[in-house]
Amino acid sequence: DGKPGRDVFGREIPSKKGKDIALHELVGKNVKLSEDGKFIISMVEGQPYVSNDGKVNVKEIFVVNGDLDYSVGNIDFPGSVWIRGNIDGNFKVISGKDVIIDGIVSGGFHIEAKGSVVIRKGVFGRKRGKIISGGDVSAKFLSETFVASEGSIEVGEYMMNCHAVAKKDVAVFGKGLIVGGKVSAGKSIKARVLGNMSGAKTVVEAGVDFETQKQYYEISHELMELVRELTSLSTLQRKFKMMLDNVSDSENKEISLILINIENKKKTLYERMEKRRKTLEALNISRREKQLRKNALIVASDACYPGVTVSIGDETIKIDDNLGPTAFTFDVVKNGIKATPYKTWRKFLK
């Protein structure tokens, strides 16, 4: 039985008699009754819920029935995560298994899964969004997004201004465009069109070491964030300097202190940026030493435009002319990249 309590006026509130619940009747999916019969214990890591029949269950998938917004917040879940709407903003989704998103993903998001990541409608990363997958990554399109996949990356329409690396393959179907950015794969890159008629700088690399390349991209991404932060501080610094001649002496002192603080922050940022640049230089040497060029393949089944840089292993060529359907491989005899008609390699895209 319960114990009497008191209300805010000090008056006694009598307790109510409790009643026994037959816990064994409430045991649902993925749970069991403890040996003493007093607890319902989960047999898997997951999301607990009570079904319509009153039973306690645990599902190994976390479901968001709509958009991921501030009413839900960040997600860190040991099982799979299924978001049935969109993500827009700086949200984190971390999963011990797979992540499935039915809508569009945009903003400075961070999606990380030990398994695969499936985004049914596409991604606008705005140069800040990040996807890290222990399996495959698939999306309708990818724009201005950092992607690292320990499996393959499959895109339904296009990749635009992305930094992407796959341990296995990268394939772009539909429109088949890879325009801008840098796309790397351990084995092959297959698209219809590389670059565009405007000469967008586009780098495609095959035969790369995944771990080294992933680290290279992550530090490059971090360096971009530091540059953005430095730009914001410099803008703020200019505004405060313009105020100095139009304020009182006391306000002048306050602004001077703020400017000193901004300058110190800028100095710290410069130091961090220099360290990152040195790390990138070392990684650049390391990744060239670890190239896996023998079976590497890059295919443009329709066209490859000027402005594209093709790398296989430690060899690089720049495209200066419009090319038709072309396959790029490494010629071990000539010790360089060989461009051949796409029809020779048609079987690879079947």
Instruction: Report pLDDT digits (tens) over 162-214.
Output: 999 999 999 999 999 999 999 999 999 999 999 999 999 999 999 887 777 77
Considering the domain delimited by 212-289, tell me its CATH architecture.
Answer: Up-down Bundle (1.20)
Residues of the chain by 3-state class (helix, strand, coil), percent to 5: 25, 40, 35
User: Which residue type, as a one-letter code, is found at position 72?
Assistant: V
Relative orientation angle of helices 210-243 and 249-289, to the nearest 10 degrees: 160
Q: What is the mean pLDDT of residues 278-286?
A: 74
Of 24-28, 114-118, 346-350, minimum mean pLDDT range: 346-350
| Averaged pLDDT of the chain | 89
Question: Rounded distance, CA 22 to CA 56, Å?
Answer: 12
The whole-angstrom distance between residue 279's C-alpha and the CA centroid of its chain comes to 21
pLDDT at 285: 63
Instruction: Report pLDDT digits (tens) over 111-133.
Output: 999 999 999 999 999 999 999 99
Torsion sign (Cα): 240, 246, 250, 253: positive
pLDDT at 222: 84
Q: Is the pTM of this model over 0.75?
A: no
pLDDT at 45: 78
pLDDT at 51: 87
Torsion sign (Cα): 53, 54, 59, 62: positive
pLDDT at 289: 47
Highest mean pLDDT among 18-22, 85-89, 335-339: 85-89
Where does the pLDDT of residue 251 fall: very low under 50, low under 70, confident under 90, or very high at 90 and above? Answer: confident
Question: Rounded distance, CA 304 to CA 308, Å?
Answer: 7
pLDDT at 4: 87
The whole-angstrom distance between residue 291's C-alpha and the CA centroid of its chain comes to 24
Q: What is the mean pLDDT of residues 294-311?
A: 93
Q: What is the mean pLDDT of residues 15-20?
A: 81
Domain spans in the chain, listed from the N-terminal domain onward: 5-59, 66-210+293-349, 212-289
Burial class, 61, CB count within 10 angstroms (exposed 0-12 / middle 13-18 / buried 19+): middle
- Asked if pLDDT for residue 279 goes beyond 70, the answer is yes
